[in-house]
Amino acid sequence: MARIQLKLGVNIDHVATLRQARGTTYPSVTDAAAECEAAGCHGITVHLREDRRHIQDADVRALSRVLNVPLNLEMANAAPIVKIALELQPDEVCLVPEKRQELTTEGGLNVTGSKKALRATVQKLAGAGIVVSLFVDPDEPQLLAAAEIGAPYVELHTGRFCDCEGDDAACELDRLIRGAEVAHRAGLRVNAGHGINLSNIGRILEIPHLETLNIGHSIVARAVFTGLRNAVKEMRAAMAPYAGGRSCV
């Protein structure tokens, strides 16, 4: 089967988590990004949360100056954050839902319920030359709404699949496969992310039409034992067999 290059965007939020835990100046997110680049990552992803619990505005600014690969900024559709994105001009923005109390992003955007607000932001960001994606669950109405408001990309939320086992996982994987097909047929380009690790990546490769996987927590956790460069290389090697996934029956 033909190999298709599946790109890896490394989310380095949790390098900043470690720094913020002590209020130190280390570990440096720009040095971490350089390690990921040296390991062949295709992009760097950071989430500038409204509560600034890990990545800070200065991190985004510094990364946009030094990166040699595209910067993907995850962010809520909130006016002050949109303003920062327009000022800092990341290559890509992924709009995500955000709740203050959550440990991590818990679900996809409610696109059907907030078409007007999302369309306005997609247009603003696209007008500034930023490639926009919407983080969504693999639900047909959400995906069709994403296409309707003119987002070029969706990022399928893989978190639920990654949290399940057995029959539940099989069912969630089928939802992702069906979701990728619906998105592709609707003219959307497809990324995916959340909760992906070396144990579940094999099954993630069954999803069709994927361009980029955004992976963070498991890579930074693995780096504690192997170093960041090796952790990124391991994940790239695990992604290399991608042959376009499978279709649902």
Which of 60, 215 has the CB closer to ligand PXP? 215
Cis peptide leading into 27, omega within 30 of 0?
A: yes
Q: 54: helix, coil or strand? A: coil
Q: Which stretch binds ligand PXP (CB under 6 A): 15-23, 112-120, 179-187, 215-223?
A: 215-223
How far is Cα 193 from Cα 199, in angstroms, rounded to an integer? Answer: 14
Residue 34: which of 48, 20, 44, 25 has the closest Cα? 44
Q: Pattern 148-187, binding to ligand PXP, x per CB under 6 A?
A: -------x--------------------------------
The beta-strand segments (E) located in 160-205 are 189-193
194 is an interface residue for ligand PXP by CB under 6 A: yes
For the chain, the helix, strand and coil percentages under 3-state DSSP, each to the nearest 5: 45, 15, 40
Which of 200, 245 has the CB closer to ligand PXP? 200
Which of 137, 181 has the CB closer to ligand PXP? 137
Residue 183: which of 111, 236, 84, 104 has the closest Cα? 111
- Of positions 96, 122, 130, 238, contacts ligand PXP by CB under 6 A: 96
Residues marked active site are found at 47, 74, 194
Q: Minimum distance between the CB of residue 235 and ligand PXP, rounded to whole angstroms?
A: 10
- Of positions 6, 76, 94, 151, contacts ligand PXP by CB under 6 A: 94
